[in-house]
Chain A
């Protein structure tokens, strides 16, 4: 599919996460195959539409994730303006490697740079390479060094926020916190509508993944 995922969901390019999620849920409700009887002539059309919607949603998530992980996509371009450090051709080249997901090349080039020459950007790019390998703790350490060396850099700060948001979304400790533990969100979504929706979205994502691999997880769509 080479359509614009944003226009499929009917949201603008700078829509917030919630707007995108809402639009996605509305559309899923509208086109869900369960709404159509087996002999309804619209069934096939709805199925097609569902696939398109799911693809668009996944695509937007992917774009966002990439923007965060690798500094690629729109995120990279927008932060480029704010980026004030050196325009050292070595780092430009490494950024290109990272954007093209050639992480091994990027790492080799980074490690080839002498200790004394390792500026903030070196640590930031190293962080991106480590992220690609899911070595979160080390990646965060590199990011912290980058932030300390160049506290005014918007790009690094934004990456740091992204880390914190991702971890914060997971929740917090159960006991020993100021607010009453019994008022916390239930961990298993027994009475949390939001979690139930997330679960559905995850299942649909899983279905898409299965279909990509040639299998099928939810047979009806």
Chain B
């Protein structure tokens, strides 16, 4: 989807990196099972963050791994997590999010994109049916529609639509949890969502400007390109969002799950700041480089 939420592998222990990859493969397998045979082709690293967070809330005896091969990597067997409730939920929730995101993209003006979206959308339609998380569907639909409305209106603010996206991720993180855990999970999702929205908008600024599409930073700073000062300020706001996220992540109940803790902290302390490195460069045009 976005590919912003990834750790810096160089700073992970090998076993942590292995767990991260195994979780990725585990989510992928679950998507295949629960949201349709091809839905995992749109699977991204972002979902691993949710899977790891939700794994903190299930019994650690339910988490196991085994070596398997898969279609994407037929030659070598990989370590993958076996199915567990956290992975299942992640697969379903991301199926829903991807489906509504695609519905959203279909209103995109470019013909090629519209065609490709209409080709893969039916796969996710079944994903949504199978997913069986109706309240979450309603929330996803509502928030994305409201973001759309704000964008059509050309609102000159990143925080307004960003907050809606944050609410959506917050609900996804907290869905189905008891009252006690909801608060922390919601704020992890909320701040992560706001970060993703703002970072994505900043990265797409140049392209949106060329294509004449809406971008919150276009509405704020005009079409003259971002000055160094503008970029510094966008970065400053993003780092403040990271700080809020840090506070929420540090309140998660890690217990003995040191590996998960290190992966999540790697993501928020070095992974996310690394993803917005494009803001340091003189021009945003090569911004796609750091992306998955």
Contact = CB atoms under 8 A, between A and B. Distances in A.
Interface of A: 130, 134-138, 140-141, 144, 163-164, 166-177, 181, 186-188, 202, 206
B147 interface: no
Interface in B242-272: 242-244, 246, 250-251, 261-262, 265-266, 269-271
B240 interface: yes
B236 A141 contact: no
B276 A173 contact: yes
Nearest to B265: A188
B11 interface: yes
B159 A136 contact: yes
A137 B155 CA distance: 14
A49 to B, nearest CB: 27
Contacts of A144: 229, 233
Contacts of A187: 11, 265-266, 269-270
Interface string B223-241: 0000001000111110111
Nearest to B239: A167
A137 B273 contact: no
B81 interface: no
B198 interface: yes
Contacts of B237: 136-137, 140, 167
Contacts of B250: 202
B220 interface: yes
A175 B274 contact: yes
A202 B243 CA distance: 14
B228 to A, nearest CB: 13
A135 B163 contact: yes
Contacts of B8: 174-175
19 contacts: A135-B163, A136-B240, A137-B158, A140-B233, A141-B157, A141-B220, A141-B233, A144-B233, A166-B243, A167-B237, A171-B269, A171-B273, A174-B8, A174-B11, A174-B270, A174-B274, A187-B265, A187-B266, A187-B269
A200 to B, nearest CB: 13
A168 B265 CA distance: 18
A170 B195 CA distance: 14
A171 B236 CA distance: 11
Given A137-B159, A175-B274, A167 B262 contact: no
A134 B244 contact: yes
A163 B236 contact: yes
Contacts of A167: 235-237, 239-240, 243
A177 B235 CA distance: 15
Given A163-B236, A174-B270, A137 B265 contact: no
B281 to A, nearest CB: 8
B40 to A, nearest CB: 29
Contacts of A171: 269-270, 273
Pick the most buried of A130, A136, A140, A163: most chain B CB atoms within 10 A of its CB. Answer: A136
